[in-house]
Amino acid sequence: MDEDKIQARRREQDEEATRRRASILGLQYLDGREFEDTLPLLKGVLTIEEMYKGRLVPLAFNEEDQSYRFGVTSQTSESLMKRMRDQYVENGKRIFFFLNFWFGVSVNYAQV
């Protein structure tokens, strides 16, 4: 089996495990393979340090319903998500979290 097929198989297994964890944690799952290398993250929402520390990335803001979308990992603490949810709601915003596997790729892209 060539290296590309091995890597693709491993990635599929990682994504499936993440999909199952999202279900267990009550989070939506986001498979970013199609856009992980080109997804423009929201600038000015979190610093790179905050992204690494919290294991989350700001993905999008929806003007229509005043909601933010963040990608998180299974290592993102529930207390951080609750604190952020409370803070955003207090400021009249909504916040959604999506479990994803590709955190490192997203943060690396944000640094460019």
SS3 61: strand
Is the pLDDT score of 108 beyond 60?
A: no
Return the ∠ at Cα 75 (arms to 82 and 67), rounded to 5°: 40
CA distances from 56 to 3, 39, 43, 67 (A): 30, 14, 13, 16
The pLDDT, as a whole number, for residue 107 is 62
Q: Return d(Cα 75, Cα 55) in angstroms, integer.
A: 7
What CATH number is associated with residue 8?
Answer: 3.30.300.160
Q: Which has more confidence, 25 or 39?
A: 25
The pLDDT, as a whole number, for residue 111 is 55
CA distances from 20 to 13, 49, 80 (A): 11, 28, 21
Query: How many domains does the chain contain in total?
Result: 1
Q: In the predicted model, what is the mean pLDDT of the chain?
A: 85
Domain extent at residue 96 = 3-110
Is the pLDDT score of 110 beyond 70?
A: no
